[in-house]
Amino acid sequence: MRNWPNEFVEKSVAHGTASECIKCIEEFAKAGATTMMLRPTSKDPLGQLRTFAQDVLPSF
């Protein structure tokens, strides 16, 4: 597994609470992003996807 520098993660990855992810995705869109890759990283990836679908996705 690769260790990414914190600065890269902070600028390139939506993470945190649902509201933090929404804000981050909105910033990516403002910067011109039109496509997003979703990669669950928790020990419960299905639960993480459910949370994303329920709490983040409806904002878009």
- pLDDT per position as a tens digit, 17-49: 999 999 999 999 999 999 999 999 889 999 999
* Contact (Cβ atoms closer than 8 angstroms) between residue 56 and residue 22: yes
For the entire predicted model, the pTM comes to 0.82
Q: What is the mean pLDDT of residues 6-12?
A: 86
22 contacts: CB under 8 Å, gap ≥ 6: 56, 59
How many alpha carbons lie under 13 Å from residue 13 in its C-beta half-sphere? Answer: 13
* Contact (Cβ atoms closer than 8 angstroms) between residue 15 and residue 24: yes
Does a structural domain hold residue 18?
A: yes
Q: Where are the alpha helices (DSSP H) in 1-60?
A: 6-12, 18-30, 45-51
The domain in which residue 11 lies consists of: 6-59
Give the pLDDT of residue 1: 53
Does a structural domain hold residue 30?
A: yes
Does a structural domain hold residue 1?
A: no
Which token pair is 24?
């981050």
